Amino acid sequence: MIKTAVIPVAGFGTRMLPASKSVPKEMLPLADKPIIDFIIRECVQAGIEQVVLVSHASKVSLEDYFDCNEELEMQLINSGKKSLLNRVREITPEQVTITSVRQRKVAGLGHAILAAKKVVGNQCFAVLLPDVLVHAENKSTNILAQMINQLEKTASSQVLLEPVDDELVPLYGIAQGVKNFSQNDCFQLSNLIEKPELSEAPSNLAVVGRYVFTPSLWECLENTSTGVGGEVQLTDAIQQLIQEELVYGFKLKGRTMDCGNKQGYYRAFVEQVLSSGGNDRQAFLQFLREVVVKNIKPESADVIGHLIKSF
Ligand code: G1P
């Protein structure tokens, strides 16, 4: 069973500037919880017991968020705010220990993951990129848990893949499978290329931020030199792993939301408010209706208004 996950959080989040100048991008909220909260819940649901954050001096608020804040709790107790108190206490998941290591210098995703080697050791482990939220088609399914099962069945590393539009291909790691791969949900990989030009891309299946690895990845990471963008790329280390043992692509049944860029973040925020229950959702829907009425031509307002109603 995989019990350890590595989450690289050392990056500066330049795509989210200026918001991310003094607040880590992982601490930006989706409705009333920071992005990292969703990622840690995903780990807990998948049975992870140890999370290793690969972090940076400017990111201590992530650890503080999951720590107990007795002063705040006392204040909530004294002012009788019981339901808020419960919500604050729920933040710290009992099932998981969160530790952190420092990356020392920002030198790419592969370099960041390698910084966790001593803590993780010689065991299979998961990697979650905190920019990406994964929504399974079936809401009760945890995709990471499925990937962990698949690793146990096949004794091989798994890389989550999702088809992307042509114009997005140069932004991702892109996968190539052995023959007839598109027919299967899980298939053997023959190649992975980091951020190829569309003309050089072997498919439109993008690596979307969830991986489970055998410990053989460590040696591949150690042997990986700088690649695209002058950074040590995780994709290049996986490409080496493919030469040594079977690695599988795991096709996502669902969709991802990339919160690491502004448009994706805005969408994820709205979606999260709409999927939360209670008064906030109702008030926000009412607000959206008013925005639609004020800003959209009557003919499109019907369509958009109908869409909003369906939430
Ligand atoms: C990283 C990985 C890339 C992957 C992407 C998913 O790129 O290097 O292979 O497809 O995450 O979000 P980044 O977005 O950090 O440039």
Note the pLDDT tens digit of each residue in 76-92: 999 999 999 999 999 98
pLDDT at 293: 75
What percent of the chain shows pLDDT beyond 90? Answer: 78
CATH code where residue 52 lies: 3.90.550.10
Note the pLDDT tens digit of each residue in 25-52: 999 999 999 999 999 999 999 999 999 9
- Distance CA(55)–CA(9), nearest Å, equals 5
For residues 228-255, average pLDDT: 95
Q: State whether 286 and 222 are in the same domain.
A: no
Establish if 296 belongs to a structural domain. yes
Establish if 16 belongs to a structural domain. yes
Phi-psi region of 141 (alpha: psi -120 to 50; beta: other; left: phi over 0): beta
Mutating to test ligand 1, I would choose from 12, 109, 234 the residue with most ligand atoms within 8 A of its C-beta, which is 109
Decide whether any atom of ligand 1 lies within 6 Å of the 239 Cβ.
Answer: no
Model confidence band, residue 282 (pLDDT cutoffs 50, 70, 90)? confident
pLDDT at 309: 60
Decide whether any atom of ligand 1 lies within 6 Å of the 132 Cβ.
Answer: yes
> Which residue is closest in CA terms to ligand 1's atom 15?
109
Establish if 90 belongs to a structural domain. yes
- More confident of the two residues 39 and 183: 39
Decide whether any atom of ligand 1 lies within 6 Å of the 109 Cβ.
Answer: yes
- Distance CA(273)–CA(269), nearest Å, equals 6
Note the pLDDT tens digit of each residue in 192-239: 999 999 999 999 999 999 999 999 999 999 999 999 989 999 999 999
Q: State whether 42 and 134 are in the same domain.
A: yes
Model confidence band, residue 307 (pLDDT cutoffs 50, 70, 90)? low
pLDDT at 280: 85
pLDDT at 300: 63
Q: How far is the CA of 278 from the centre of ligand 1 (A)?
A: 35
> Which domain range does residue 305 map to?
278-311
For residues 277-293, average pLDDT: 84
Its sign, for the CA torsion 137, 130, 269, 98, is: positive
pLDDT at 295: 75
Residues forming beta bridges with residue 7, ordered by sequence position:
53
pLDDT at 102: 94
Q: State whether 34 and 104 are in the same domain.
A: yes
For residues 252-265, average pLDDT: 94
Q: State whether 60 and 127 are in the same domain.
A: yes
Model confidence band, residue 22 (pLDDT cutoffs 50, 70, 90)? very high
Cα-based distances in Å from 203 to 110, 162, 170, 241 = 23, 11, 11, 20
Lowest-confidence pick of 1-10, 28-37, 102-111: 102-111
- Reading the block at residue 135, the tokens are 């929504």
CA angle at residue 56 from 38 to 125, to 5 degrees?
A: 55
- Among candidates 143, 151, 152, which has minimal Cα distance to 43? 143
Mutating to test ligand 1, I would choose from 171, 252, 265 the residue with most ligand atoms within 8 A of its C-beta, which is 171
Q: How far is the CA of 173 from the centre of ligand 1 (A)?
A: 6
Q: State whether 288 and 221 are in the same domain.
A: no
Model confidence band, residue 174 (pLDDT cutoffs 50, 70, 90)? very high
Report the predicted TM-score, pTM, of the whole model to 2 decimal places: 0.92
For residues 241-251, average pLDDT: 95
Q: How far is the CA of 42 from the centre of ligand 1 (A)?
A: 19
For residues 86-109, average pLDDT: 91
Model confidence band, residue 128 (pLDDT cutoffs 50, 70, 90)? very high
Cβ density class 232-256: b for 16+ within 10 Å, e for less: bbbbbbbbbbbeeeebbbbbbeeeb
Mutating to test ligand 1, I would choose from 14, 161, 169, 172 the residue with most ligand atoms within 8 A of its C-beta, which is 172
Decide whether any atom of ligand 1 lies within 6 Å of the 133 Cβ.
Answer: no
For the chain, the domain total comes to 2
Q: State whether 263 and 292 are in the same domain.
A: no
Establish if 169 belongs to a structural domain. no
